Structure 1
Amino acid sequence: MPASSIRQPRTPKKPKKIKPPDVIIPANIDWQTDDTGNRVPVSGEFGDVYFSHADGLAESRYVFLQHNQLSERLANLVPQQCFTIAELGFGTGLNLLALWQLWRQLRATYPELVTSRLHLITTEKHPIALNDLTQILALWGQRAPELADLIEQLLAAYPPLITGCHRLNFNDDNLTVDIWLGDAADSLASLDSETALKRPYIDAWFLDGFAPACNESLWAESIFAQIQRLSRVGTTAATYSCAGIVKRALQDSGFEINKVKGFGRKREMLAAVMLDETSLKEAALGKATSDSNTKYSSRITTDNNANNLFITTDTPRHTIVIGAGVSGLLSAWTLANRGLQVTIVDKAAPLAGASGNPRALLAPNMTPIHHVYEHLHTIGYLYSSRFYRYLNTLAASNNSAPVFEPTGTLDLLVKTNIGTQQIADYPNEMATTLSAEQASDMSGLKTQQLADHLHLPQSGLINPQALKKIILAHPLITFQQLQVTKINETETNVCISGLHNDSHERDCLITIEADSVVICAAYESHGLDSRIVDCSTIRGQLSWFTPTAEQSAKLPKLPLKYSGYCAPFIGQTGDGDINNIEEGQQQFLVGASFVDADKDISIRSDENQQNRDKLIADIPELDSILPTDTSLWQARAGIRTQTLDYHPLIGRLAGSKRLWTLSAVGAKGYAIAPICAETIADMMLGCFTPLSAIMLARLSPNRARLHKSP
């Protein structure tokens, strides 16, 4: 692609505000019997079946896989290419399962697909509750045993039913599934196509809503306007419906339609392909011959090959990540999982800064459920809880310490922030209130007022050293100790230069070249590139001590959130690499202090005392249990970085083609860095992100509110 066609980042325009979403109402499931005596789920809202009475799985394969020519198109992908499919109506997930199985088969047949990716974006207004979905898919596990493993993985990753995008990554298969819950028109409008280096498009559509006669809203003009916006020449669509409203809407959106034999009792179905204006005029004038099916097929194949050439000329192969804190490590991991070679550089060891605490608490900052779709911390927490559990499976396979300990957390602060009534609509698997007796049994607290406090069952503790070990073991990631002093971007690459301290304690100048650079250097990012706003700094000191057996029996049994946080934990292999913690040793941590505009990271005994005092002020019964001499406590100090509006910086720097940043994650790095890393990887590689256009504008490093003249 010529350099002139690379879109330059700019101060983002404010996207059109989407109305606040309603609370998700799960589908009401009824049942019928199909042609062979099997039970078939029916939507109680729309009175229509979720799949054919003849054979739902065969219908998915015939209508959506065959008539989007996916076997041929997916087999033709080149390394690192991402093929994107959008679906209207996730339903039971049967289309996903059929697609997933096909993708697995193709990857086993064509080794060159090892770094190619499949991305499914699917929408659902009334998602099926997990219990109902488990029952439905259990039937398919019996009828189609080849799907059993996929069904198990899908159910394990199925998200809480909360409005917004839920990203599911099935890394072993290079498959990403974004489930957008809520109104389909709003979800499609949220897909950003402006911030990526190369504009992303949908390659194929599964139009699988309930019949237009049952659910007109999913076939509305606003839906097809978004389909047109998100498609390009060569994009295909398939649907079981031949209703006039569907045919006209596709034609008005730039698609040539092709009526073919339907599945089962259906006489006809529609397959469609988006054409350029000349081809559309030819079709309208009747110049298409009787061999229209052949022309339809050749248009898809030709356009797919053109897209392959488009991908190979500009996809980065090697990226440098500056900074080995949590943002840098997770950016490197995400890019490496997309097939890029990544070099992490830092003046110190990985996690030597603010990200290197012995444990980090992963728990959401609760917000009223009507605001969740625009609340980065909640969006990040939902993704992170799945992500860290996946890393646990990798750790277990290597006999390593787990990255995530799912302890649950008791939030004693929520009533101060928003009140329990405002979060009553949250799914219980994410947040639920407890009686005083339940909270006392769970926490071990005896005299604390605990009625109606919040239990966060999916939360827990992150082990940063275990996380570091897994990330640095990735075969495409290398670490280089380097104090970067210069970044030089040219038309064809980026070179960084800096000082490396060799084995003889001598500084030597090193230069590294790459296709792109991601700056994740916290408050030092501004010094590397002045286009990154100079952020405020907040010193934080975390304290911990080794309790006696008597103290351990009386201390809280699980993490607690109050005006600070505390948590018991046991030392694991690797904890002694940075912090003085022995494997198998019981510890209790208390944190953390907040000192504005202070970059000194020396340990201060008075901040240990402050951490103790804050805990005792909120939970007085612990005063007689905690050691009184805090000078013997261990501690670690780090510097948090945050912007004036408290949002991190994610995106490409203004006027640049190859320089990006993910920085200023503040005190919430372990909760939001995984989803932010996914987002920046998507923008770098021309894919749709899991964050809405509104959110991306709010997080842009070029946003106007941060660059106003004083």
Structure 2
Amino acid sequence: MTDKSLHADIEWRDDGQPLSRAFDDIYFSSVSGLEETRYVFLQQNALPSRWTELGAGEKFTIGETGFGTGLNFLAAWALWQQAAPAKAQLHFISVEKFPLHSQDLERALALWPELQPLAEQLIARYPPLLAPGVHRLHFGPVSLTLVIGEASEAFQSLRLEDDSRDRLVDAWFLDGFAPAKNPAMWTPELFENIAALSRPGATFATFTCAGLVKRGLKDAGFVLKKVPGFGRKREMLRGELERIEPAQVTSTPWHLPEGQIYRGHGRMAAPPLLEGFDSAPVGAAHGRDQSRKQVKKVAVIGAGISGATTARALAERGLDVHVFDKGPQPGAGASGNDQGILYAKLSPKPGPNGDFNLHALIFALRFYREKCAEAAHFCGLLQLAQGEKEQRLQHQIGQWLERNKAEALARAVSAEEASAIAGLSLDYDGLYFPQAGWLQPQKVCTTLLQHDNIRLHFETEIEELTAREGGWRLHPRTGNGDFFADAAIICTANGIRQFPQTAALPLRPIRGQVSSVATGEQSQKLNTTLCGEGYIAPAHRGRHSFGATFKLKETATELREEEHRENLETLAGLLPEIAAEFSSQPLSGRAALRAATPDYLPMAGPVPDWDSLDSTYADLRKNRKFLIPQRADYQSQLYVLGGLGSRGFTYAPLAAEVLAAWICWEEMPVSNELTKALHPARFAIRDLGKNRKN
């Protein structure tokens, strides 16, 4: 969390159009911004003809400099609906240093009535806090990756330094304020990153013919052509990537499985698009890797929240998903409590933990509202500051939220205001999250697993995984024989370590007991979820859930009276009258095991060959800062999602999106820093750097 992300300072002209005060420049043509977009970016990239030639299920990616009002995105989306095959997918990647607040975005897009159905969807999903980093928004077959930050740095943050994973952009919209107004954006580093993210033959179009733009594009490997500009502009540029430079390894690639590297380095044949966009080819002629093995059938082991979100993410990408669980129904393990709290621990300092918590919460709030609203109760959540340290922390966070106009996500409240929101007297100030609340865990898992591409196999415990040519063989303990899949994903919490391939992962079991009690005369007044040193949710079916205990490394799951008393004592710190009311009532509950990692971030990614990882990067024991350009071997198409700890329902949706990106060769929904921070191999690499053996 940082104040580096400033927001657009808008001046509204008499004609209703927005102007940036920072750059003293307009966002789009005063003649017709929409027609300008269609001519400059859609037509000059030959998108109508290229999209009609896409195959079913094929994906097309657009990159953009300067999201601005989102007009280019909406125009592309509208054309996609008209021209693309039904099952094709559009991914739109855009960067923005000075994002518009939602109210300014809504006002600007109101200028285009024909785009309003799409604009309303964008505004509804627009991030409630425009925090620096990557924001992934889904609109059915269309996805938007909005990266908040300086353009060159933002594109750099998407690069994994692997050509086969980075080179995904088919067409570029080089937009933004004019170079004369904003020369700091149009840097050599920007063009270098654009080229590094481009497929061979990727096209571009831009409204400007400024010299620094032409030089930057040529130096990065693009060939250019001047064509008539829009309206009063005499000329503009279009062209495509002709020269491919291999990715430069600037950091040890321990996170990258050995994959296919683009082998077409050097000059390519004369680009066909410059001769006539109407006959522009797609597919192989534009550098698509037709030889890469495509994963079609996947096995997800585990039907808790990690398995359910993973299965749903892959099913929505068209994969054939089979989910295996030893229990009789979804969420039979740690995801089986009556009520689950949807919250995250915000931090005033930038860093992987704080950044992931924030982005995971924003993604999860939108995810559950769209995927399983009937199982989610968005009654709000109060995070109360019970100690002096927490009060100081929340004071900083509250100021940051206010400066960023993020009240839609959270805002600071006094004890008096918190009491009015909760419906009960509270002694502490806090942070109020109006869109958060609580979930019905098993119903969430069940709903997510209801998809035409998902097949469920309950009471089927997988006891062994065996690598085979082209995939994995799953051996059930009982059942109808082995099962074969192109890829396997292990999502079994502490059970992840039962497989030899993942036994090295440093997961720690944490016992947690939740208490349940019938609603009382006072407790029924509770209107919102409360969270502090413990938590309590509003009543559901005449009962409250509260707790939970935290017993590190304990693995027993029987109910304990002493932990019921512990939960009551914790609750008394929040609501002494309610705790007293509950103390005379019979308590029931449930104990289960969480699985946590040493750094309390989840694991989402591919599983390495541990011996190969150790030998390839052995020199890190001498100096952890050594640059070792080699890659280690990985378990082919084996992945893991786990270590969600006590925030599983907040973490799982975004972590599953990361996993889907690994499996489907997509742009990551988080920065490269967070991709590494979530990687299952990170602990082994850290141990090497500390010269420590497991």
Deviation at 1:259, TM superposition (A): 0.8
The one-character-per-residue Cα deviations of 1:474-516 (angstroms, maximum 9, x if unpaired) are 000011121112211123121111123xxxxxxx452111110
Q: How far off is 1:280 after superposition?
A: 12
Provide the residue aligned with 2:395 in structure 1.
420
Counterpart Cα distance in 2 of 1:137 and 1:701: 42
Q: Distance in 2 between matches of 1:698 and 1:229?
A: 23
In the alignment, which residue of structure 2 is the partner of 1:237?
204
1:163–1:372: 8 Å Cα contact kept in structure 2? Answer: no
Rounded to whole Å, the distance in 1 between the matches of 2:111 and 2:581 is 54
Residue 179 of structure 1 deviates from its aligned partner by 1.0
The one-letter code matched in structure 2 to 1:622 is I
Counterpart CA distance in 1 for 2:240 and 2:297 is 35
Matched, 1:24 2:9: no
More off after superposition, 359-368 vs 269-278: 269-278
Q: 5 Å matches for 1:55-454?
A: 55-107=32-84, 110=85, 113-114=86-87, 116-141=88-113, 144=114, 147-159=115-127, 160-171=129-140, 174-194=141-161, 198-276=165-243, 293-294=274-275, 301=281, 304-305=284-285, 307=287, 310-311=289-290, 313-348=292-327, 349-368=329-348, 370-371=350-351, 375-392=355-372, 402-413=374-385, 416-417=389-390, 418-426=393-401, 427-446=406-425, 448-450=426-428, 452-454=429-431
Partner of 1:529: 500
Partner of 2:600: 646
Give the CA RMSD over aligned residues.
2.6
Query: Whole-Å Cα distance in 1 between the matches of residues 345 and 109 of structure 2?
Result: 33
After superposition, the C-alpha distances for 1:402-447 in whole angstroms (9 at most, x for unaligned) are: 122111111113763323124411222222112332222112333x
2:693 alignment counterpart: 709
- Of residues 464-473 and 637-646 in structure 1, the stretch that sits farther from structure 2 once superposed is 464-473
Query: Which of 683, 687, 698 does residue 666 from structure 2 map onto?
Result: 687
With over 3 angstroms needed to count, the CA separation of the structure-2 counterparts of 1:594 and 1:282, relative to structure 1, is: closer
Letter of the 1:493 counterpart: G
Residue in 1 aligned with 2:464? 486
Which letter does structure 1 place at the counterpart of 2:555?
Answer: K
Correspondent of 2:565 among 609, 612, 617: 609
**Match of 1:213, as an amino acid?**
A
Q: Is the 8 A contact 2:515 2:567 kept in 1?
A: yes
Is residue 606–residue 637 contact of structure 2 (8 Å, CA) maintained in 1? yes
Structure 1 partner of 2:255 = none
2:589 is the counterpart of 1:635: yes
Q: Which amino acid aligns with 1:513?
A: F
Using the TM superposition, name which of 343-352 and 462-471 deviates more: 462-471
Counterpart-to-counterpart distance in 1, 2:331 and 2:244: 54
Aligned mate of 1:663, from 618, 631, 642 = 642
8 Å CA contact retained: 2:2, 2:348: no
Q: Look up the SS of the partner of 1:673 in the other structure.
A: helix
Mapped partners of 2:323, 2:182: distance in 1:
51
Distance 1:292 1:330 in 2: 41
* 3-state SS of paired residue (2:110): helix
From the superposition, tell whether residues 162 and 199 of structure 1 become closer, same or farther in structure 2 (CA, over 3 Å): closer
Q: Quote the residue 1:561 is aligned against.
A: 531
Is the CA contact (8 Å cut-off) linking 1:60 and 1:95 kept in structure 2? yes
C-alpha contact 1:373 1:379 (8 A) present in aligned 2: no
Under a length normalisation based on structure 1, what TM-score does the superposition of the two structures give? 0.85
Higher relative contact order (CA 8 A, sep 6+): 1
Secondary structure at 2:681 match in 1: coil
Once the two structures are overlaid, the 10-residue window that deviates more, 468-477 or 411-420, is: 411-420
Q: Residues 344, 646 of structure 1: CA spacing in aligned structure 2 closer, same or farther, 3 A cutoff?
A: same
Deviation at 1:198, TM superposition (A): 4.7
Counterpart amino acid of 1:264? G
8 A Cα contact 1:644 1:706, kept in partner: no
More moved, 273-282 vs 349-358:
273-282
For 1:69, the aligned partner's letter is: A
Shift of 1:370: 4.1
Extract unaligned runs of 5+ from structure 1. Answer: 1-19, 396-401, 501-507, 571-584
Separation in 2 of the partners of 1:288 and 1:648? 47
Deviation for aligned residue 1:39: 2.4
Matched AA of 2:440: N
- Is this contact kept in 1: 2:167–2:196, CA < 8 A? no
C-alpha distance in structure 1 between counterparts of 2:354 and 2:167, whole Å = 22
Identify if the C-alpha distance between structure 1 residues 374 and 186 changes in structure 2 by more than 3 Å, giving closer, same or farther: farther
1:462 to 439, 442, 446: 439
Cα deviation code 1:61-82 (max 9, x no counterpart): 1111111112222233334433
CA distance in 2, matches of 1:292, 1:645: 49
1:196/1:686 contact within 8 Å kept: no
Amino acid at match of 2:367: F
Asked if structure 1 preserves the Cα contact closer than 8 Å seen for 2:519 and 2:539, the reply is no
Q: Which residue of 2 aligns with 1:582?
A: none
Amino acid corresponding to residue 117 of structure 1 in structure 2: Q
Q: Is the 8 A contact 1:196 1:687 kept in 2?
A: no
1:512 equivalent in structure 2:
483
Separation (CA, whole Å) in 2 of partners of 1:180 and 1:303: 27
One-letter amino acid of the counterpart of residue 139, structure 1: L
1:17 corresponds in structure 2 to none
CA distance in 1, matches of 2:375, 2:217: 48
Evaluate the alpha carbon distance shift between residue 639 and residue 288 of structure 1 in structure 2; reply closer, same or farther with a 3 A threshold. closer
What is the match of residue 495 of structure 1?
A: 473
Long gaps (5+) in structure 2: 246-263, 609-633
